Amino acid sequence: MTDSSDNASELSDQELEALHQIFDLAREGQTQQLAAVLDQGVPVNLTDPKGDTLLILGAYREHPDVVALLLERGADVDRLNDRGQTALASAIFRNNREIADALLDAGADPSLGSQSAGAIAEFFDIDDMKALLRERGIL
């Protein structure tokens, strides 16, 4: 059995470019196109070399439709990237209540990661997100 780095070295330039384009769909909010590639079998928890999932990218780039699609498809709301951040932490940092609510409703754990949702709201003094977390009994 080979590890993921061995697998990555076996991919052609064309295959690598196709993977980059899938991550771009989440970054750019291309919900329909992303749904189409998921329908073709692309894993909903596809992760880039930095550990960012499609869900983390969609949340950070503030695309609620992408987040909703990925949640409907069973994306892991508690997956950590290589910096110890979750999709919820990204939504809190971006001060996006719609996405933060969707992630919390889907069961996201606000205490996860080296930079938890609450810690981010407090550190960056994001009043709206602190209020949201207080409403939810998290802060």
Range of the domain at 109: 4-135
64 vs 11: CA distance, rounded Å:
31
Instruction: Render the burial of 55-84: b for 16+ CB within 10 Å, e for the rest.
Output: bbbbbbbbbbebbbbbbebebebbbbbeee
Whole-number Cα distances in Å, 113 to 62, 81, 97, 116, 122? 20, 9, 20, 5, 15
d(CA 6, CA 15): 14
Total tally of structural domains belonging to the chain: 1
Four-point Cα dihedral 87, 92, 97, 100, nearest 10: 30
List the pLDDT tens digit at each of the 139 positions of the chain.
333 444 556 878 888 888 899 999 999 999 999 999 999 999 999 999 999 999 999 999 999 999 999 999 999 999 999 999 999 999 999 999 999 999 999 999 999 999 899 999 999 999 999 999 999 999 8
